[in-house]
Structure 1
Amino acid sequence: MSLRHRLVAALTALATAATGALVAVSLTAPPAAAATYSAYVMGYFKESPDQSGDSYALHLAVSSDGLDWMPLNQNNPVVTPTAGTQGLRDPYILRKQDGTFVALATDLTGRVFNQDNQYIHVWDSTNLTSFTGYRRVKLHSMATHSWAPEAFWVPSRNQYAVIYSANNGTRDVLMVNYTTDFVNMGTPQVFFDPGFNVLDGDVLVDGSTFYLSYKNLNDNRLYVARSTTGASNSFTTISSGLRQGDAIEAPVLVRSNTSSTVWLWGDSFAPANAVVYGWQTTNVDGNSWSVMNQRAFTPPINAKHVTITPITSAERDALVDRWGAPEWNRLKSYNFPGRYVRHAGNVARIDPFPMDPTADQQWRIVPGLADPAGVSFESVNFPGRYLRHYAYNLRLDPNDGTSAFRADATFYPTAGLADSSWTSFRSYNFPDRYIRHYEYALRIDVLGSGSSTTAKQDATFDITY
């Protein structure tokens, strides 16, 4: 979605995701149907640093390009488990061979990981606008967990493989059960055991090749393995270890439907740090992965252990119609793309994500208080308070109804000074000044064609969710 489209959506309260040409095919997509996909759906649960943003339920987001994500249902759950621990982690959405969906998830709530659980949550869904047939299914009888269940179709068996993380009594391995209906789960067996502890397996089916991404628990890095059959114990590791941050987990492989690009997504390992990292390559077998700048993608707020599945434009529209688009936006910094505009102690600044309270970074972009051709930024968690400049510094103040306040709180969106596909904001009553950050605090400064590259970058933002 272009920034212009986002702004129009925010001003008209009709935010929807635009259809894009770049789509992805993952293991969930029947190859014959792949060409019809023009969007994506993401599933996830949520965690935040102080736990105030935690949500151990299934959340959904949609994207037209697999990079910029729009959370649905105001980033609230669409379904919550009612049995077992009554919470979930590590959701996974699979498009089945008949075109409908099944959702799987770890039966675990909170941040306590010493619970042995032989069951996983399962739902059926026609098009992800509703979820039926909720059940817990048993995968094994071992004294261990059943973490991060995922699934893929195995043509040679005419069955689905459900893989998950467990300890087989020797080490942490990936197990597999084969099923046709996600009710009768068959006999568990070891799927991948490279001789060291592993976690979080994800399989990308690419024609007749099966790529398995996984976490090596010994070095806290992500790896990719390859198989020509997808059978148990048939994978050979073909990549070097990948890591961003202190440690990483929850790999997800997604292939573009219109190019040779493959994305690999992973989560920060820290439970309170809901940061998604990305790599991309045009040759998975070539072991040449490049780190993706966070400027290139924006996951939903507090999203953890994501699952990404291709969908059609009609399915995307149905999801937005059913669950609704956000009534708020976020502003991402251009030159510090891991930071977002927020208020803290009524001071406007850019701070690193994740942050609490979550709503400090959420804004209702409304028609300008002084001129509806411009915009004003109303706080989500302090309605009636707006970003305004005072002595050139931006702060969050209540609308006192004066013309001076309305003028101070109104800004004109323009093409980004550092990147025309992004946005800069010019002051209504000081038209030679723009919102920019300086030492992370927001202010309005005089900027023009002769301004430094750094100053222009400081004044450039992405209107996102």
Structure 2
Amino acid sequence: MLLSRRAFALGALASSALAATGVAATPRAARAATNTAYVWAYFTETPTFQGANYGLHLAVSRDGLNWTPLNQNNPVATPTAGTLGLRDPFVFRKQDGTFGVIATDLIGTDFGRNSPYLHVWDSTNLTGFTGYRLLRMHSYPTHTWAPTVFWDAARGQYGIVYSNNNGGQDVFLVNYTSDFRTVSAPQVYFSPGFPVLDGDIVVDGGVTYLYYKNLANGYLYGARSGTGAPNSFTTYTGGLRQGNAIEGPLLVKRNEGTGWWLWGDSFSPVNNDFYAWSTGSIGGTSWSALNQRDYTPPLNVKHGSILGITDAEYAGLVSRWGTPAWVRLKSSNFPDRYVRHTGGQARLDAYPFDPYRDQLWRMVPGLADAAGVSFESVNVPGSYLRHSGYVLRLDPNDNSATFRADATFHRTPGLADAAWSSLRSHNVPTHYLRHAGYQLRIDPLGSGSSAGDRQDATFRLTP
């Protein structure tokens, strides 16, 4: 959440007008299926808002760290009431094994516009969304931001926790519900004596964990409770932050059951990196920051939520929405930077930037050799990465033999990491694509090359 603008995010989906059924109190047999993958629900923004979209976006991941946007990173649903936009969508699994989506009713950056409503959808498997409605949470003239949902077994109801300015201070309120159509009266859920924002709640082993942003100092913290009841939480971690600012904690239990991740959103679209930590024990106080080399969030992602899904659900999402028709080239030794074109030149720049499509490439069979690959610009169709005088540039394909050869590369195991990729020139086969001073070029590289040179020539080809 942007503290300076009091921003908050939540997500929503557009869908058909089927009425939602009631929520079963007992999980059905299908609920026992093992989660083997993850889904991330989010909205998008970029520095000059060229990539801003306030509908529901979905991405999937097998390992929980490297993400593939679905539907070409276009929304899979959009709100049809309220502000007609959402921020910070929260996707959750109901007790009957189906899904729900709930999101802040706020489009764009008009953070002074207060709404007492949340967007709500139902979904069988996230391949379609039904029962769209607005759910009124309170009657206060203040915001209703960044909802999170958890199952309160003692009550036999769901708790909907969200950020609200109550009595002049930012706190978390809670409403309880059985059907996401009617809710109990709001009550204060967490008010530690300083302003808080962006709560995420996970119940594990009889303990309810609440991670949040402390607005007084800008750090993320974890609190826990043995009951999950309002005003029963005790903060147990130190403050966490990476980058210049952090918000929107996303607490994720690994499907293997061997540890946890914590994701944090940066402060604004101008600096919309995501950062991540890991721990082997959620009950401990030690979180280790992950190297950005180890994870790749969805393109242009802002806030949202992450949930474990089954293999069948993963396959269904990919089949229904499709995976990107483009790739990005992420640097091994500068993992916040991606290959992009600008002014006809090819270089490595820190993401985010606009036009964000400068970093998107259609990887096609090599123009000179189908066993190789060529990279066509998404936003300058017909133009390809090619070397000229050993320097990489973006030029229109003139269909000459020289151009086709200059624009063809052979993908090999990464010179610095075999799990990544290096790109060997087709017509200068001793040379590899690499960056030098952030410029892209081809240089001779081999077994005698320095570790730094091999890193410069190693990339992750990622959506």
Cα distance per residue 1:197-249 (max 9 Å; x no partner):
00011011112011110000011110000111111111100111101111110
Determine if the alignment matches structure 1 residue 233 to structure 2 residue 231: yes
Q: Give the match for residue 11 of structure 1.
A: none
Mean Cα deviation higher: 315-324 or 415-424? 315-324
Residues 335 and 458, structure 1, Cα contact 8 Å, conserved in 2: yes
Q: Compute the displacement of 1:320 (Å).
A: 1.1
Cα distance per residue 1:374-429 (max 9 Å; x no partner):
10001001111000000000000011010000000000111100001100000001
TM-score (norm 1): 0.92
Determine if the alignment matches structure 1 residue 89 to structure 2 residue 87: yes
Q: Compute the displacement of 1:31 (Å).
A: 12
Residues 35 and 257, structure 1, Cα contact 8 Å, conserved in 2: no
Q: Compute the displacement of 1:273 (Å).
A: 2.7
Residues 221 and 240, structure 2, Cα contact 8 Å, conserved in 1: yes
Q: In the aligned structure 2, how far is the partner of 1:307 from the partner of 1:124?
A: 16
Residues 44 and 60, structure 1, Cα contact 8 Å, conserved in 2: yes
Listed as ranges, the matches of 1:291-302 within 5 Å are 291-302=289-300
User: SS state of the match for residue 160, structure 2?
Assistant: strand
Q: Compute the displacement of 1:42 (Å).
A: 0.7
Q: Give the match for residue 377 of structure 2.
A: 379
Q: 2:378 is aligned with what amino acid?
A: V
Q: Give the match for residue 43 of structure 2.
A: 45
Q: 1:163 is aligned with what amino acid?
A: V
Residues 328 and 462, structure 2, Cα contact 8 Å, conserved in 1: yes
Mean Cα deviation higher: 270-279 or 105-114? 270-279
User: SS state of the match for residue 190, structure 1?
Assistant: strand
Q: Give the match for residue 365 of structure 2.
A: 367
TM-score (norm 2): 0.93
User: SS state of the match for residue 56, structure 2?
Assistant: strand
Q: In the aligned structure 2, how far is the partner of 1:455 from the partner of 1:30?
A: 55
Q: Give the match for residue 283 of structure 1.
A: 281
Residues 87 and 304, structure 2, Cα contact 8 Å, conserved in 1: no
| Structure 1 unaligned regions, length at least 5 | 1-28
Q: 2:36 is aligned with what amino acid?
A: S
Q: 1:82 is aligned with what amino acid?
A: T
Q: Compute the displacement of 1:272 (Å).
A: 3.3
Residues 31 and 96, structure 2, Cα contact 8 Å, conserved in 1: no
Q: Give the match for residue 135 of structure 1.
A: 133
Q: In the aligned structure 2, how far is the partner of 1:174 from the partner of 1:31?
A: 34
Cα distance per residue 1:119-139 (max 9 Å; x no partner):
110011111111111100100
User: SS state of the match for residue 38, structure 1?
Assistant: strand
Residues 30 and 97, structure 2, Cα contact 8 Å, conserved in 1: no
Residues 87 and 108, structure 1, Cα contact 8 Å, conserved in 2: yes
Residues 118 and 139, structure 1, Cα contact 8 Å, conserved in 2: yes
Q: Compute the displacement of 1:98 (Å).
A: 0.5
Q: Compute the displacement of 1:63 (Å).
A: 0.6
Q: Compute the displacement of 1:30 (Å).
A: 9.9
Cα distance per residue 1:312-361 (max 9 Å; x no partner):
11111111111111111111000000001110111111111111112100
Q: Compute the displacement of 1:286 (Å).
A: 2.0
User: SS state of the match for residue 42, structure 1?
Assistant: strand
Residues 374 and 412, structure 1, Cα contact 8 Å, conserved in 2: yes
Q: Compute the displacement of 1:81 (Å).
A: 0.7
Residues 349 and 437, structure 1, Cα contact 8 Å, conserved in 2: yes
Q: In the aligned structure 1, how far is the partner of 2:115 from the partner of 2:72?
A: 31
Q: Give the match for residue 16 of structure 2.
A: none
Q: Give the match for residue 339 of structure 1.
A: 337
Q: In the aligned structure 2, how far is the partner of 1:76 from the partner of 1:108?
A: 18
Q: In the aligned structure 2, how far is the partner of 1:249 from the partner of 1:208?
A: 26
Residues 295 and 337, structure 1, Cα contact 8 Å, conserved in 2: yes
Q: In the aligned structure 1, how far is the partner of 2:49 from the partner of 2:312?
A: 36
Q: Give the match for residue 13 of structure 1.
A: none
Q: 1:274 is aligned with what amino acid?
A: N
Determine if the alignment matches structure 1 residue 306 to structure 2 residue 304: yes
Listed as ranges, the matches of 1:55-134 within 5 Å are 55-134=53-132
Residue 431 (structure 2) aligned to one of 408, 430, 433: 433
Matched positions, count: 437
Q: In the aligned structure 2, how far is the partner of 1:220 from the partner of 1:271?
A: 17
User: SS state of the match for residue 105, structure 1?
Assistant: strand
Cα distance per residue 1:242-277 (max 9 Å; x no partner):
011111100010111224211000100124332111
Cα distance per residue 1:104-124 (max 9 Å; x no partner):
000001112111211110011
Listed as ranges, the matches of 1:121-270 within 5 Å are 121-270=119-268
Q: Give the match for residue 402 of structure 1.
A: 400
User: SS state of the match for residue 286, structure 1?
Assistant: coil
Mean Cα deviation higher: 281-290 or 228-237? 281-290
Q: In the aligned structure 2, how far is the partner of 1:104 from the partner of 1:356?
A: 30
Q: 1:292 is aligned with what amino acid?
A: L
Residue 330 (structure 1) aligned to one of 328, 331, 336: 328
| Structure 2 unaligned regions, length at least 5 | 1-26
Q: Compute the displacement of 1:285 (Å).
A: 2.5
Q: In the aligned structure 1, how far is the partner of 2:93 from the partner of 2:33?
A: 15
Residue 442 (structure 1) aligned to one of 440, 447, 452: 440
Q: Give the match for residue 18 of structure 1.
A: none
Q: In the aligned structure 1, how far is the partner of 2:333 from the partner of 2:28?
A: 40
User: SS state of the match for residue 315, structure 2?
Assistant: helix
Residues 413 and 419, structure 2, Cα contact 8 Å, conserved in 1: yes
Report runs of 4+ in structure 1 exceeding 3 Å deviation.
29-35
Two-structure CA RMSD over aligned residues (Å): 1.4
User: SS state of the match for residue 454, structure 1?
Assistant: helix
User: SS state of the match for residue 318, structure 2?
Assistant: helix
- In structure 2, do the counterparts of structure 1 residues 31 and 301 end up closer, same or farther at CA, with 3 Å as the change threshold? farther
- In structure 2, do the counterparts of structure 1 residues 104 and 30 end up closer, same or farther at CA, with 3 Å as the change threshold? farther
Q: In the aligned structure 2, how far is the partner of 1:222 from the partner of 1:381?
A: 38
Residues 263 and 280, structure 1, Cα contact 8 Å, conserved in 2: yes
The percentage of counterpart residues that share the same residue type is 61
Q: In the aligned structure 1, how far is the partner of 2:29 from the partner of 2:384?
A: 49
Q: Give the match for residue 16 of structure 1.
A: none
Mean Cα deviation higher: 216-225 or 32-41? 32-41
User: SS state of the match for residue 59, structure 1?
Assistant: strand
User: SS state of the match for residue 75, structure 2?
Assistant: coil
- In structure 2, do the counterparts of structure 1 residues 362 and 197 end up closer, same or farther at CA, with 3 Å as the change threshold? same
Q: In the aligned structure 2, how far is the partner of 1:284 from the partner of 1:314?
A: 28
